[in-house]
């Protein structure tokens, strides 16, 4: 049973997230041979304040 985690910034609509899950499921199923009903997709949304690059947060730049 494949598990996929997608991390992205918050702000997408439910329709966009639904389409993303469908496409990821399709891609994983096609490439691994796992039945689509066994593919689990997690979406983890984060704020733009919740990460840094080279020790600096983009909101502090």
Lowest mean pLDDT among 14-23, 26-35, 47-56: 47-56
- What are the two backbone dihedrals, phi and then psi, of residue 30, each rounded to the nearest 5 degrees? -65, -40
Any bridge partners for residue 1, and if so which? none
What pLDDT sits at residue 36?
98
Q: How far apart are the first and last CA of the chain?
A: 41
| More confidently predicted of 8 and 48 | 8
- What are the two backbone dihedrals, phi and then psi, of residue 34, each rounded to the nearest 5 degrees? -70, 140
Catalytic residue among 2, 4, 29, 34: 2
> Where residue 58 falls among pLDDT bands split at 50, 70, 90?
confident
So where are the chain's domains? 3-60
Q: How far is 53 from 38, CA to CA, in rounded Å?
A: 35
CATH topology of domain 3-60: Macrophage Migration Inhibitory Factor (3.30.429)
Instruction: Say whether pTM exceeds 0.75.
Output: yes
Of 39, 61, 58, 40, residue with least CA distance to 49: 58
What pLDDT sits at residue 54?
87
Question: For the chain, what is the mean pLDDT?
Answer: 94
> Any catalytic annotation for residue 35?
no
């Amino acid at each position: 049973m494949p598990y996929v985690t997608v991390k992205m910034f918050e702000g997408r609509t439910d329709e966009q997230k639904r389409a993303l899950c469908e496409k990821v499921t399709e891609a994983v199923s096609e490439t691994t041979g796992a039945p689509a009903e066994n593919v689990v997709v997690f979406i983890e949304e984060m704020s733009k304040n919740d990460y840094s690059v080279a020790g600096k947060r983009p909101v502090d730049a």
